[in-house]
């Protein structure tokens, strides 16, 4: 009976790095309102749990459980130090735990559908595109819908086993295990990339796209300690360049320096989110000289920034959450991919959805950034990108209001509470 289903206890195993635990938490928060009597235990590290549970108020049926990460208290996670334990769909060993417990395994894939399909086809992709002599611009002609994607866009750790030793092994195993899952959930939405979704459906038992999660389960907190929204209120419609490179990496110092020069010299106002100590990262005097036209902060309520009508273009590292949020906010993008799925996301933004551009020459130059900003803010081509992104935004809104994402969410609830 429904009442009995409601009494289920659901164990949730989060991947505690980058923006992985937050979307999983959003999904669980939504499911917990749909099944108020079910209990959810959210397993993650203390640091990650503190972050995702912070400011959420009373959550009757979701409890955090802190898992020791085995690291000293003051250990800093950085890319120079890639030895932390890793694992969400990334934690493929959830399949084994679930089998032992005789319960269904339901992984969440927190990125886009294209990298997911490539991970499922890792052997084929390595065989066709992984050899030494394969030119960077060879396109993928063996999967429908991928003819715009080049060898150089494929995540390195998918293509080469030895890119960063632990990561390819984990992702490879994930690709092997996902077909065993009772359902694979993803934070995308069906009409965004229908060709790819159909291929995923034929490879997985129950592929359920329930996103964009920022709409399926909006974050009730989204604080704005540095008053970015108030600042945006004072800017002209569609004029602001918003810059943010996500939660993990920052472009190298010389690129930040040329980006700062480009922003200082261009006509547009800018809002720049830089973690840690922003002042140390910029050319001398930059912050002082640009304080009238620019605002540099260490955190923004990003979705709200992208939904603000003053924001005209988003310079991003092309992480999946940032791309989804830019679509939801209807803002074309300039992409400077750094690692993982980001080059593939960039190529999809540029070549398939046509809602933005990759940075010319792959690393930022003053000229490249300036040209890209002008293209998006003041040409017909930029205008067309805005129309294209508006179309994708409509598809996202439809998906969550009684469309495919809300249906898939019901189907997911059925799987986890049956
Ligand atoms: C990894 O991505 P990141 O965590 O580096 O970047 P995003 O997926 O774009 O997520 C960043 C999130 O942080 C939020 C922003 C996004 O939801 O709204 N944020 C904010 O609110 N304010 C700020 O000032 C700065 C950020 C990985 F690197 C990517 O390649 C993957 O695609 C991604 C998903 O698996 O995870």
Indicate left, alpha or beta for 222 from its phi (over 0: left) and psi (-120 to 50: alpha): left
Question: Average pLDDT, whole number, for the chain?
Answer: 91
Q: What is the pLDDT of residue 281?
A: 77
Using one digit for the tens of pLDDT, what is the confidence trace for 76-90? 544 333 332 273 889
Q: How far is the CA of 18 from the centre of ligand 1 (A)?
A: 7
Cα gap 379→263, rounded to integer Å:
18
The protein residue with its alpha carbon nearest to ligand 1, atom 24, reads: 299
Mapping DSSP to helix (H, G, I), strand (E, B) and coil, where does residue 46 land?
A: helix
Q: Is 9 a catalytic residue?
A: no
Using one digit for the tens of pLDDT, what is the confidence trace for 251-269? 998 999 999 999 999 999 9
Atom of ligand 1 nearest to the CA of 298: 24
303 within ligand 1 shell (Cβ under 6 A)? yes
**Higher per-residue pLDDT: 382 or 277:** 382
**Higher per-residue pLDDT: 4 or 257:** 257
Q: How far is the CA of 7 from the centre of ligand 1 (A)?
A: 34
322 within ligand 1 shell (Cβ under 6 A)? yes
Q: What is the pLDDT of residue 163?
A: 57
Q: What is the pLDDT of residue 249?
A: 85
Cα gap 122→142, rounded to integer Å:
13
Please report how many Cα atoms fall inside a 13 Å half-sphere around the Cα of residue 129, on the Cβ side. Answer: 27
pLDDT above 70 covers a percentage of the chain that reads: 93
Taking residues 262-280, what's their average pLDDT?
Answer: 89
pLDDT(5) > 60? no
320 within ligand 1 shell (Cβ under 6 A)? yes
324 within ligand 1 shell (Cβ under 6 A)? no
321 within ligand 1 shell (Cβ under 6 A)? yes
Q: Which has the minimum average pLDDT: 28-42, 72-86, 207-221, 372-386?
A: 72-86
Could you say which of 20, 119, 308, 317 is catalytic?
20
Q: How far is the CA of 211 from the centre of ligand 1 (A)?
A: 15
| pTM score of the predicted model | 0.93
Q: What is the pLDDT of residue 220?
A: 87
- Decide if 299 contacts 272 (C-beta within 8 A): no
Give Cβ neighbours of residue 194 (< 8 Å, ≥ 6 apart): none
Q: Is 141 a catalytic residue?
A: no
Cα gap 71→272, rounded to integer Å:
32
Using one digit for the tens of pLDDT, what is the confidence trace for 7-58? 789 999 999 988 899 999 999 999 999 999 899 999 999 999 999 999 888 7
Atom of ligand 1 nearest to the CA of 341: 30
pLDDT above 90 covers a percentage of the chain that reads: 78
Using one digit for the tens of pLDDT, what is the confidence trace for 336-352? 999 999 999 999 999 99
The protein residue with its alpha carbon nearest to ligand 1, atom 27, reads: 319
pLDDT(75) > 90? no
């Amino acid at each position: 009976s429904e009442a009995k289903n409601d009494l289920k206890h659901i164990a949730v195993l989060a991947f505690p790095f980058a923006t992985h635990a937050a979307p999983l938490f959003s999904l669980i928060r939504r499911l917990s309102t749909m099944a108020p009597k079910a209990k959810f235990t959210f397993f993650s590290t203390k640091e990650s749990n503190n972050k995702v549970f912070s400011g959420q108020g009373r959550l009757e049926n979701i409890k955090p459980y802190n898992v020791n990460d085995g690291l000293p208290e003051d250990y800093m996670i950085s890319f120079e130090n890639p030895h932390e334990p890793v694992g969400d769909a990334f934690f493929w060993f959830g399949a084994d735990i679930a089998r032992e417990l005789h319960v269904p395994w339901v992984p969440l894939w927190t990125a886009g559908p294209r990298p997911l399909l490539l991970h499922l086809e890792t052997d084929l992709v390595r065989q066709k595109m992984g050899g030494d002599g394969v030119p960077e611009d060879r396109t993928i002609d063996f999967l429908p819908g991928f003819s715009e994607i080049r060898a150089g866009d494929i995540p390195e750790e998918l293509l080469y086993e030895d890119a960063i030793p632990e990561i390819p092994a984990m992702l490879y195993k994930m690709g092997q295990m996902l077909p065993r899952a009772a359902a694979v959930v993803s934070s995308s939405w069906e009409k965004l990339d229908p060709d790819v979704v159909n291929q995923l459906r034929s490879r997985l038992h129950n592929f359920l796209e329930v996103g964009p999660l920022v709409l399926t389960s909006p974050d009730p907190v989204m604080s704005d300690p540095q008053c970015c929204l108030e600042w945006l209120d004072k800017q002209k419609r569609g004029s602001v360049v918003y810059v943010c490179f996500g939660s993990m990496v920052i472009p190298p110092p010389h690129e930040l320096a040329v980006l700062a020069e480009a922003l200082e010299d261009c006509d547009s106002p800018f809002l720049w989110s830089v973690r840690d100590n922003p002042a140390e990262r910029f050319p001398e005097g930059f912050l002082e000289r640009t304080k009238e036209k620019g605002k540099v902060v260490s955190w923004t309520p990003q979705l709200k920034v992208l939904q603000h009508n003053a924001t005209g273009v988003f310079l991003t590292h092309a992480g999946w959450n940032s791309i989804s949020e830019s679509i939801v906010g209807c803002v074309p993008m300039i992409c400077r991919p750094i690692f993982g799925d980001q080059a593939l996301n960039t190529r999809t933004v540029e070549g398939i959805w046509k809602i933005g551009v990759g940075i010319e020459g792959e690393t930022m130059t003053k000229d490249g950034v300036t040209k890209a900003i002008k293209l998006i803010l003041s040409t017909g081509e930029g205008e067309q990108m805005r129309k294209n992104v508006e179309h994708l935004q409509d598809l996202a809104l439809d998906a969550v209001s009684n469309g495919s994402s809300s249906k898939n969410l019901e189907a997911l609830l059925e799987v986890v509470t049956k």
